[in-house]
A and B are shown apart, each in its own frame.
Chain A
Amino acid sequence: MSYITKPKFQYPGLKTNDVGLSRRDYEGTLTTLCGGCGHDSISAAIIQAAAEMSLEPHKVAKISGIGCSSKIPSYFLSKAHGFNSVHGRMPSVATGANIANKDLHYVGISGDGDSASIGLGQFCHIVRRRINMLYIVANNGTYGLTKGQLSATADQGSKTKTGEESLYDNIDMANLAIELGASFVARSFSGDKQQLIPLLQAGLTHKGFAFIDIVSPCVTFNNTDSSTHGYKNTWENYIALSQVDFVPMRKEITTKYEAGKEKEITLHDGSVIHLHKTGNNYDPYDKENAQHHINQHKKEGKIATGLLYINQSTSDLHELQDTVDKPFNRLTNHDLCPGSEVLDDINETFS
């Protein structure tokens, strides 16, 4: 736990990206989470992902609910506006923000309590509405801030630090997202930066609702050997259905891949996701197959990770509703007010 202010000093020799910013320009305030918390690795991965992509921080809006996970937005991109809203209600706030201005990147950060319990209804409906955003669940199977109660994603039989066993079946957020029509669904592990960063980049670039369920261990309350969300279990039972590389649109593709061993997915802006096959012939375009794989691995006590499902040709809410190109928050009197003459005609219909 830290209480000091982060120094603003930057080494003059720090490398800058295409928009002239160094990695430090993507940082947030110092974390106040527990040392070793998986969530801090997520912040670090987002910082690296955004810096590599040359995202302009102020073109990002970070929105969260309540809980340890929802503190994450403080710890990255301090030049972006953030909104730490109400427990379980990040999806509605993100929906409204997105409708108001379609030109920003929206990153929603939530946890398993926030999205799988109190906010499950809102989670379901934001997926249905295809909000163009990256929605992250930092999933640790426990309620950290209230000191270690089981969450709805805790696997049946999983035990907390105090020995409390989860009696009920868990909610698999990735599976649910696929079921509800999310067009980009991935799962990763806070400890696997190599996999997580390209997934974050692809999710940020994807047009439509991108969802990443990130297993992110709670070192204080749910990191025992008997917990399925701890570091030990995750490392041991973590299966990558695919290895992912992300190549942003403006980068020249220099990496050479062995023919037949990789799959290319082109996103709407020309960026490319490279999937390296891992011998299991996984097809991320097939919804039923994705759900089957998730369930199959779960039965074996394994955690299926990687890009689980993608459909890069869907439309987002703005396209579905056919809204104007200009963001709503820039429409003026002139654009919006029909004026007195029209009102006279309307009066006529009521006389």
Chain B
Amino acid sequence: MPELVHSTKIKAMPKINDFVVKFANVNGSGSASANNMFAKAIFRMGIPVSPHNIFPSNIQGLPTWYEVRISEDNYLGRREGVDLMVAMNEQTIKADIQSVVPGGYVLFDSSKALANDLIRDDINYLPLPLKDICLREFEKPAQRQLFKNIVYVGALAAFLNINFKVLTEMVSEQFRGKEKLILPNIHALELGQKYVNENFEYPLPLQLKKSNKTAGKILIDGNTAVGLGCVYGGATIASWYPLTPSTSVVDSFGKYCNRLRIDPGSGKKKFSIIQAEDELAAIGIAIGAGWNGARAFTASSGPGVSLMQEFLGLAYFSEVPVVLFNIQRVGPSTGMPTRTQQGDLFSCAYASHGDTKQILLFPSTPKECFEFAADAFDISDRLQTPVIVMSDLELGMNEQICDQLSWDDSRVYDRGKVLSTEQLEEIEKFGRYQDIDGDGIPYRTYPGTHPHKGSYFTRGSSHDVNAAYTEDGDVYAEVMDRIALKFETAANYLPIPEISNQAKHRLGMIYLGTTTGAIQEVLDNLAKKNIALDTLRIKAFPFHQSVKKFINDHELVYIIEQNRDAQLKSLLKIECNANEEQMHSILSYNGLLITAQHIERDILNSMTTLENAKDVPA
């Protein structure tokens, strides 16, 4: 074994509560729960943390990474470069070590010598004989493998100064009910800690200090929050087809329903989950339920949403409420199933053939996943049309810090314009698609409401205001125009953009969804270079009128999105009549969450000279 450069030899910049730790593992090796424990311990020390899973579409044996950004400044986006690499995968170790920033660290299993070509002279190595320790301490082969992960977490606790009590408490919580597992896990943590204690100077200059930045916050993934939002929003029916990265939405819904939706008297269920034969059936079931007055949803991703197109057109044209969660992943086709993208804006905004438009909501945090999920059912019932909640893999499958979820107990579900038996009794003639109120939203009835009033025929073929079949082009156009009016009304029911332009600068940024995590960091860093921008975060489509105004009020607006074809920019052109010259695209589509560095670089590169771009109040 070549002599390793130790941490004392290379000068490392001290970094407190502001660095990136990346774990390189083999999937299926049990690293996930150990890595989660690491991130959560930091969260519990009061330090903002954002973990990102970068995993393969595979069950066992392929490389997987867990990247943890720690940021006292609450920058929760990804950051380029790794300060400490936990290199546990021989297959990727070379590239993993290359990605470490100069002065950074590599923690590796020194039970086997490190190859010469893996030695860099500008970084520090933290050799830990994990395999040897586990062979010595544990008897069962499975334990010897699994506990390697726990031992390195124990070692990291010493290296980085993680409060050990926080870790042991988490082990006790995790294995509540399986007490036998608590002691061996704590033992494994102690083994790692002890080895560092005896062999290294610690903590490293890279270290954690207790803070108070996570008080009142929670650490939760978006899909769990969506499932919970569906419970709170009154959904009773989930029909779905398993598809990464949407699967955990229905898992979460089922978990909370089994806890919160069992009728106390009878023990019976106030929910139904149908694992359908495909995504066509999944959305068909949800539409059938919506037509009959129950709140229903389906969750999917790109390939599934493609299959749902015909049904989305039916629901649009026949005006049936349904909620769809699209947890976007990299397309086209199968694409990269376990990587993130905002690539389905086109396929969802105008989903289905003919003249259509769909309501889209863009959550950016797990808290918004919860809120928008619940809101989606109100909006869908109110507007009698599908609502597609556009999350993505990054938001859906990674834990993220956000404010606690909250619910207003005085809130009553908005079931929209549904006529009761009594209301039907009072009206002379019911016409399903008549625009009584002038807002483009007609009145509907549920089957079985009244013995001889209010029945109608729902169809995807052209129909008149009374829902009767027609091939009269003018009558068809009248209905289409009324639906268009309904989409103008929609703006009143959709979440409005978040705009920061108190200072009114020449430059602006428009973004949505998971891009949000990088924005504050971009603004802060550019401010140091005397560049200031106004920002607008889009939360819904069709766009609020303030979006168009924002573009018009700025000389240049950066449109930041995570797809190749600048889909958001195109939508802005179509919907806001925005000028091409006024918009500049910043795109990221490599399947990883966009970084602040990427955005900064593109903004700086786009400026002919920095001097030119210095902010001048408009």
Contacts and interface: CB of A to CB of B under 8 A. Distances in A.
Contacts of B239: 92, 95-96
B247 to A, nearest CB: 19
B51 to A, nearest CB: 14
A335 interface: yes
B56 interface: no
A3 to B, nearest CB: 11
Contacts of A4: none
A350 B220 contact: yes
B181 to A, nearest CB: 19
A103 B288 CA distance: 15
Contact of B455 (A79, A129, A332, A340): A79
A81 interface: yes
Contacts of A322: 267-269
A324 B270 contact: yes
16 contacts: A58-B452, A89-B281, A92-B281, A92-B287, A99-B236, A100-B290, A124-B277, A317-B272, A324-B263, A324-B270, A327-B294, A333-B234, A336-B234, A337-B407, A346-B405, A351-B217
A74 B469 CA distance: 10
Nearest to B43: A351
A340 B446 CA distance: 30
Nearest to B282: A92
Contacts of A333: 234, 411-413
B447 A61 contact: yes
Given A92-B281, A328-B236, 10 more contacts: A58-B448, A58-B449, A61-B292, A82-B458, A92-B276, A92-B280, A96-B287, A322-B268, A324-B268, A328-B237
Contacts of B293: 100-101, 329
B409 A339 contact: yes
Given A81-B455, A333-B234, A339-B409, A99 B447 contact: no
Contacts of B267: 322
Interface string B212-252: 00000111100000001001101011010000000000000
A239 interface: no
Given A84-B460, A86-B460, A99-B274, A104 B448 contact: yes
B123 to A, nearest CB: 35
A323 B296 contact: no
B260 A338 contact: yes
A131 to B, nearest CB: 10
A59 B311 CA distance: 26
3 shortest interchain CB distances as A-B pairs: A96-B288, A92-B284, A329-B293
Given A96-B237, A333-B234, A83 B272 contact: no
Given A58-B451, A322-B268, A122 B294 contact: no
Contacts of A80: 447, 455
A125 B294 contact: no
Contact of B310 (A86, A100, A129): A86
A83 B277 CA distance: 21
Contacts of A155: none
A323 B280 CA distance: 24
Given A96-B285, A343-B406, A101 B272 contact: no
Interface string A310-351: 000000010001111101110111011111101110110011
A331 B270 contact: yes
A63 interface: yes
A350 to B, nearest CB: 4
Given A104-B447, A122-B277, A340-B408, A93 B287 contact: yes
A56 interface: yes
B506 to A, nearest CB: 41
B288 A94 contact: yes
B285 A92 contact: yes
Interface residues of A, number: 61
Interface in B279-322: 280-294, 296, 310-311, 314
B452 A79 contact: yes
A121 B278 contact: yes
B58 interface: no
A84 B317 CA distance: 12
Interface string A99-139: 11101100000000000000001101100010000000000
A343 B405 contact: yes
Nearest to A58: B451
A347 B404 contact: yes
B116 interface: no
B187 to A, nearest CB: 26
A86 B292 contact: no
Given A80-B455, A83-B458, A343-B406, A97 B274 contact: no
Contact of A97 (B236, B281, B292, B456): B292
A84 B459 contact: yes
B461 interface: yes
Size bin of chain B's contact surface? 35 or more
A351 B278 CA distance: 36
Contacts of A63: 288
Contacts of B274: 95, 99, 129
A103 B285 contact: no
A13 to B, nearest CB: 21
Interface of A: 56-59, 61, 63, 73-74, 78-86, 89, 91-101, 103-104, 121-122, 124-125, 129, 317, 321-325, 327-329, 331-333, 335-340, 342-344, 346-347, 350-351
A93 B285 contact: yes
Contacts of B461: 84
Contacts of B346: none
A351 B218 contact: yes
Contact of A93 (B218, B236, B291, B408): B291
B138 interface: no
Contacts of A347: 218, 404-405
A58 B456 CA distance: 11
A347 B402 CA distance: 11
A122 B281 contact: yes
A254 to B, nearest CB: 30
A338 B270 CA distance: 12
A342 B407 CA distance: 10
B548 interface: no
Given A89-B284, A97-B291, A321-B269, A82 B232 contact: no
Contacts of B493: none
Nearest to B292: A100
Contact of B269 (A57, A122, A324): A324
B291 A323 contact: no
A301 B234 CA distance: 54
B450 interface: yes
Contacts of A93: 284-285, 287-288, 291
A58 B450 contact: yes
B281 A100 contact: no
A96 B398 CA distance: 31
Contacts of A83: 288, 291, 457-459
B266 interface: yes
A240 to B, nearest CB: 34
Contacts of B449: 58
Contact of B266 (A100, A121, A324): A324
A125 B277 contact: yes
B261 interface: yes
A336 B262 CA distance: 10
Contacts of A327: 294
A60 to B, nearest CB: 8
A96 B409 CA distance: 29
A328 B291 CA distance: 12
